[in-house]
């Protein structure tokens, strides 16, 4: 089958969903109102709460949510064939993921930019507040390790790729200083300069190759897996500490241009080349025993494809950074719902890039050598592909390399571009790493907020202040050490299954909270089906996957397996407690005749800023 068919179906489906379904949720279910002052203005402190142009904020939000999930998950799930993954991406992103992101951003805006755990404590009760806090903290640490392992596998012993990625950091700082301090509001000129500098970093990275002008300094960027596993947490620490306008917002904004531009270019490349899909609709691994994902398609497909369909991690971004920067309530439809279906389209591009490879080449890239040797599937182009991209791409599991090879393969088949395949490959690697790194920096920052809230509520009150430097440094260090430890000691086989279940369990918590909120504010109780329907499906699926993971981890018989198994059990128990507590509240709300509203308690005093600082609210 021609891959163009999948592309056209996806575009039509997403356009219709945004036009009609998101409009229904916006107008009828949530009743967005721009008369409400957003936390960005009410609590404007110039550091965490900063009114931000909607396009810049869309760039930040999209870059922060679109990590490894929409790129790696669909590629790994192609083990089951192109059909199951493609259908789950479409249905999941429209009816589950986009709804999930939208409702949580809305709730956090109405709750003065507070975190998911604070909202749960106010709207459900103290039990859910505590369980949600600890569940989120466990989940986000696991998620960050899961995202980072993909970067490590793609960039170790790859000076060109690591140099390009590293250069985006100083570029973002320069652009941030320009757009926010030197020439405030200069979005267009800052964007153009930043975009050209990033492209220049991709081009000059080739000069680090053997025989090129910068060969002598290539070893600086020729890091091993352990070295990268230390460098990434260090980056996450500084990203969590620096002001949001200096690194986080401009870097994510520039990344979003690169990401969206690359996806549009890939879509055009598919239309021009019209590659055939070589992977069957389903494979012999549907019932389990696959070389990449050991379990059966249900439930493992739904935890492998995370961010491309639904991701609990998105709730942390919606209630962590985006809610503190949005200028108008109505913009949450474009930023949250629109951002998620854009990510769904990214996932569609990712699965197409994987399934146009020959099955033998796909499995050779994504499987360890010993595992692939047992499959008995012949390779077709793997040696030629390695030659064209100027590095050995075989047996680099994790999904990132096969996606980059697939993308480069499509681009290089456009007339006259065959000799540029190495550039396309490194551009694709940088493109993927940018996706993931922007999620790591935003995620580490959000984890710092959550840990500050927990410690400030239950241990030492000053730690809750987001502008108190000792608290910022202390909590940032703890968070980065925890996910850095998992990254340093684990691999894809141990981290990704744990990440998938943890991530989707957080989505279950967020959808349960969303159901509670809709029951409180919507004019019709039936509107709660918007969140309850995906919640019911996801809860059964992910809890089953979690139980299967526990068995798999403990069967390893080593320290890492026991640690992962114990963490899985703790997460499952926390989520079950939260669901039971939510059901208790739902039964009460279903007996009410009229909307009772949320327990927002909005006031100037509720802003988490210095009490002597007067919020800057526009007239």
Tens digit of each residue's pLDDT (9 = 90 or more) over 515-533: 999 999 999 999 999 999 9
Q: Say what the pLDDT of residue 615 is.
A: 45
pLDDT in tens, 396-434: 766 677 777 887 778 777 776 767 777 777 777 777 777
The arithmetic mean of pLDDT across residues 321-343, rounded, is 94
- The residue with tokens 């290089």 is 412
What secondary structure letter does DSSP report for 108? H
The arithmetic mean of pLDDT across residues 61-84, rounded, is 83
Confidence band, pLDDT 50/70/90 cuts, at residue 390: confident
Highest mean pLDDT among 207-221, 315-329, 387-401 belongs to 315-329
pLDDT in tens, 111-133: 999 888 889 999 999 999 888 88
Cα(151)–Cα(148) distance, integer angstroms: 5
- Cα→Cα distances 389→353, 394, 399, 582, Å: 16, 12, 16, 52
Q: Say what the pLDDT of residue 252 is.
A: 66
Cα(610)–Cα(607) distance, integer angstroms: 8
Task: Please provide the average confidence, as pLDDT, over all residues in the chain.
Answer: 84
Q: Say what the pLDDT of residue 557 is.
A: 83
State yes or no: pLDDT of 217 exceeds 60. Answer: yes
Lowest mean pLDDT: which of 243-247, 334-338, 347-351, 475-479?
A: 243-247
pLDDT in tens, 437-483: 777 777 788 788 888 888 888 888 888 877 788 888 999 899 999 88
Structure tokens that stand for 117 in this block: 């755990």
pTM of the model: 0.82
pLDDT in tens, 236-271: 888 778 776 676 667 666 666 666 777 787 788 888
- Cα→Cα distances 69→171, 227, 311, 398, 497, Å: 25, 24, 8, 11, 12
- Cα→Cα distances 414→263, 315, 362, 382, 426, Å: 16, 39, 21, 20, 17
- Let me know: does 550 contact 569? Beta carbons within 8 Å: yes
Q: Say what the pLDDT of residue 609 is.
A: 46
């Amino acid at each position: 089958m021609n891959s163009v068919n999948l592309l056209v179906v996806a575009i039509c489906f997403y356009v219709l969903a945004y036009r009609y379904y998101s409009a229904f949720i916006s107008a009828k279910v949530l009743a967005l109102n721009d008369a409400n002052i957003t936390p960005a203005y009410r609590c404007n402190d110039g550091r965490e709460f900063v009114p931000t142009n909607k396009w810049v904020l869309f760039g930040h939000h999209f870059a922060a949510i679109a990590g490894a999930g929409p790129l790696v998950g669909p590629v790994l799930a192609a083990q089951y064939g192109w059909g199951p993954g493609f259908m789950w991406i479409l249905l999941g992103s429209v009816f589950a993921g986009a709804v999930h992101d939208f409702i949580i951003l809305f709730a956090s805006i109405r709750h003065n930019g507070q975190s998911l755990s604070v909202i749960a404590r106010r709207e459900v009760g103290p039990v859910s507040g505590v369980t949600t806090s600890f569940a989120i903290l466990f989940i986000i640490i696991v998620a960050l390790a899961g995202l980072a392992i993909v970067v490590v596998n793609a960039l170790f012993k790859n000076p060109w790729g690591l140099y390009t990625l590293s250069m985006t950091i100083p570029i973002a700082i320069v652009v941030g200083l320009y757009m926010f301090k030197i020439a405030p509001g200069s979005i267009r000129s800052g964007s153009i300069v930043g975009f050209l500098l990033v492209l220049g970093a991709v081009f000059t990275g080739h000069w680090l190759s053997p025989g090129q002008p910068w060969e002598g300094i290539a070893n600086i960027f020729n890091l091993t897996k352990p070295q990268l596993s230390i460098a990434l947490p260090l980056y996450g620490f500084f990203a969590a500490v620096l002001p949001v306008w200096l690194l986080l917002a401009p870097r994510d904004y520039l990344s979003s241009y690169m990401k969206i531009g690359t996806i549009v270019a890939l879509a055009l490349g598919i239309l021009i080349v019209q590659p055939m899909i070589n992977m069957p609709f389903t494979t012999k691994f549907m019932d389990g025993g696959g070389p990449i994902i050991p379990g059966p398609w249900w439930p493992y497909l739904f935890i492998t494809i995370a961010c491309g369909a639904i991701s609990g991690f998105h709730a942390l971004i919606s209630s962590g950074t985006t809610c503190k920067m949005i200028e108008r309530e109505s913009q949450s439809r474009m930023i949250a719902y629109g951002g998620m279906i854009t990510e769904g389209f990214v996932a569609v591009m990712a699965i197409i890039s994987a399934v146009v490879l020959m099955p033998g080449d796909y499995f050779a890239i994504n499987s360890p050598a010993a595992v692939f040797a047992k499959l008995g599937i012949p390779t077709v182009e793997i040696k030629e592909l390695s030659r064209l991209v100027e590095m050995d791409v075989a047996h680099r599991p994790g999904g990132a390399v096969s996606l980059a090879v697939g993308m480069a393969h499509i681009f290089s088949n456009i007339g006259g571009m065959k000799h540029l395949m190495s550039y396309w490959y490194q551009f694709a690697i940088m493109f993927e790493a940018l996706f993931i790194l922007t999620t790591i920096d935003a995620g580490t920052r959000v984890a710092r907020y959550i840990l500050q809230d927990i410690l400030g509520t239950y241990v030492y009150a000053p730690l809750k202040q987001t502008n108190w430097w000792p608290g910022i440094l202390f909590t940032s260090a703890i968070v980065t050490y925890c996910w850095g430890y998992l990254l340093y000691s684990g691999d894809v086989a141990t981290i990704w299954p744990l990440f998938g279940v943890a991530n989707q369990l957080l989505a279950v918590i967020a959808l349960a909270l969303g159901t509670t909120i809709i029951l409180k504010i919507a004019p019709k109780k039936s509107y709660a089906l918007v969140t309850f329907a995906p919640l019911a499906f996801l809860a059964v699926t992910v809890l089953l996957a979690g139980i299967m993971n526990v068995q798999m981890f403990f069967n390893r018989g080593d320290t890492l397996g026991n640690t992962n198994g114990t963490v899985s059990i703790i997460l499952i128990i926390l989520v079950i407690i939260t669901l039971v507590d939510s059901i208790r509240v739902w039964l009460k709300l279903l007996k009410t005749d009229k909307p009772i509203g949320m327990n927002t308690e909005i006031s100037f005093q509720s802003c988490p800023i210095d009490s002597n600082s007067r919020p800057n609210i526009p007239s």
